[in-house]
Each structure stands twice: as structure tokens, then as C-alpha cells.
């Protein structure tokens, strides 16, 4: 029988925006000494490249033709995750409102998904080979990217709670009000859930964690416990 180092656990954390996915995934990875991959940042990075290179992000064919051009590199240290595009630090520009409003269209293009999925699988495979394990967060990790992940978690929260959290994050950075944030968030959810290729969905074998009434610390504790139980079961 194949033996797998207990530390080489692969954890998939999916869910819509505003559920605390990034903060939870990063903290869980840091606590357990695992690597961390933000797959949304990769879709944002390719979107930023399209914008800065004059590709019309509403033109799926133009996006498909250009998809293989940018070189996206993700650093997987949970205490200092990085993302570069063609060697340039993209961590700031990928969080602008312009990228946020265009990323759903770009990430719905099948050619983009194929390339980014391959990249994600290679990063997860390297973590497993090097016996470090990884927490991968996104929308389709448990269903499509890593269907054989050791543990799949699907974070949910009410639309009100998610909009309030997102609004809090944006405050001071870009003008936002709660109603507009909620509308933008629901629009992005609908696009991400409704696209043909690997939509946002909960895997049949995922554990659903509703974070509406939980603090971030409580969510982190809950997920750490689930991962520890899984790791203990594999020893």
C-alpha cells in the first residue's frame, strides 16, 4: 500500500466571496505548517494582465487567444503569500475594483480555466511530493481542481453578513456602501455559480461550515480541528 506522510495533507476550501475563505485558509495553513494557495488571486492576476495589455475582457475569444501569454507565479508561504505576473508584483493591482468587476468574465473562459487549473494542480502536487501539505482556496477546488483532496470544506454565510464583511475590508481603500457591495457580490456569485465550466459548487463529500454567526477565530478553530482530525486518521 502506498504510504503518504501525514503532513502532506491536501485541504480544499471553497465558497463564495465574503465567507472568510482567505483569512481562514491562511491562518489554518500557518497554524498547521502547511502551504497556502489563493486561486482567486491567480484569476485576478490573469485578469489584470488582460486589462494592462489591452485585451477586451468581455471578448471571450480574445481572452482565450491571450490566455497562455502571462507567466503567473504564486508564492505559497501563508505568512507572506505572493503573486507575480511576468515577474511583476501583482498583489496590489489585483485587488482594484476594476479587476474585481472583470474577473468573473475572464475566469469563465474555458481556456483560462484549463491553464490555471493545471498550474494549481502542479503547485498542490509539489507540496504533496515535498511532504508539506497545502490549503488551497477557491470556488472549484473540491469539485474540479483537486477532487481527491483529503478534506473539502465549503464555507457559506448569509449575503448580508458577506456584504458587511466585504464592506469593512474595502472601507478606507475605495468608496463603497453596503447596498452597492451586496449587489456587486451577488452579481459575482451568480456569474461564478452560473458559468458552464467548473462553476462555484459544493462537492458532495465536502463539510459545509456556515460562518454567518461565527467570528473569524471560531471559523479558524473549527477548520483546524477538522484538518487535525483528518491528519490523525491518516497516521
DSSP bridge pairs for 84: 73, 89
* Per-residue cell: 55: 485585451
Number of residues that bind ligand DC (CB under 6 A): 14
Residue 48 interacts with ligand DC (CB under 6 A): yes or no:
no
The alpha-carbon radius of gyration of the chain (Å, integer) is: 17
3-state secondary structure of 153: strand
For residues 99 and 231, which CB has a smaller minimum distance to ligand DC in the complex?
A: 99
3-state secondary structure of 235: coil
Which span sits near ligand DC by CB under 6 A: 4-12, 40-48, 69-77, 214-222? 40-48
Strand bridging mode 207-210 / 134-138: unpaired
For residues 7 and 23, which CB has a smaller minimum distance to ligand DC in the complex?
A: 23
3-state secondary structure of 179: helix
216 C-beta neighbours (distance < 10 Å), count? 13
Residue 81 interacts with ligand DC (CB under 6 A): yes or no:
no
Which span sits near ligand DC by CB under 6 A: 80-88, 125-133, 136-144, 211-219? 136-144
Residue 17 interacts with ligand DC (CB under 6 A): yes or no:
yes
Interactions with ligand DC, residue window 176-235 (CB under 6 A): 188, 192
Distance CA 134, CA 122 (A): 12
Residue 138 interacts with ligand DC (CB under 6 A): yes or no:
yes
Residues that bind ligand DC (CB under 6 A): 17, 39-40, 43-44, 103-104, 107, 138-141, 188, 192
Amino acid at each position: 500500500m502506498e504510504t503518504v506522510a501525514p503532513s502532506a495533507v491536501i485541504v480544499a476550501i471553497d465558497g463564495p466571496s465574503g465567507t472568510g475563505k482567505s483569512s481562514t485558509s491562511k491562518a489554518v495553513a500557518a497554524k498547521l505548517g502547511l502551504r497556502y494557495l489563493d486561486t482567486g488571486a491567480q484569476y485576478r492576476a490573469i485578469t489584470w494582465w488582460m486589462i494592462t495589455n489591452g485585451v477586451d475582457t468581455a471578448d471571450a475569444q480574445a481572452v482565450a487567444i491571450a490566455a497562455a501569454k502571462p507567466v503567473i507565479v504564486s508564492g505559497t508561504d501563508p505568512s507572506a503569500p505572493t503573486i507575480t505576473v511576468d515577474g511583476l508584483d501583482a498583489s496590489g493591482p489585483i485587488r482594484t475594483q476594476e479587476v474585481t468587476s472583470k474577473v468573473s468574465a475572464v475566469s469563465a473562459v474555458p481556456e483560462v480555466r484549463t491553464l490555471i487549473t493545471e498550474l494549481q494542480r502542479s503547485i498542490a502536487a509539489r507540496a504533496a511530493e515535498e511532504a508539506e501539505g497545502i490549503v488551497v482556496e477557491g470556488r472549484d477546488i473540491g469539485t474540479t481542481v483537486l477532487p481527491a483532496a483529503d478534506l473539502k470544506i465549503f464555507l457559506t454565510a448569509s449575503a448580508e453578513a458577506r456584504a458587511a464583511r466585504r464592506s469593512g475590508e474595502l472601507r478606507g481603500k475605495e468608496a463603497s456602501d453596503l447596498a452597492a457591495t451586496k449587489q456587486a457580490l451577488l452579481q459575482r456569485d451568480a456569474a461564478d455559480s452560473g458559468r458552464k465550466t467548473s462553476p462555484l459548487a459544493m462537492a458532495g463529500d465536502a463539510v459545509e461550515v456556515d460562518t454567518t454567526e461565527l467570528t473569524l477565530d471560531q471559523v479558524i478553530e473549527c477548520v483546524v480541528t477538522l484538518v487535525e482530525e483528518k491528519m490523525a486518521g491518516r497516521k
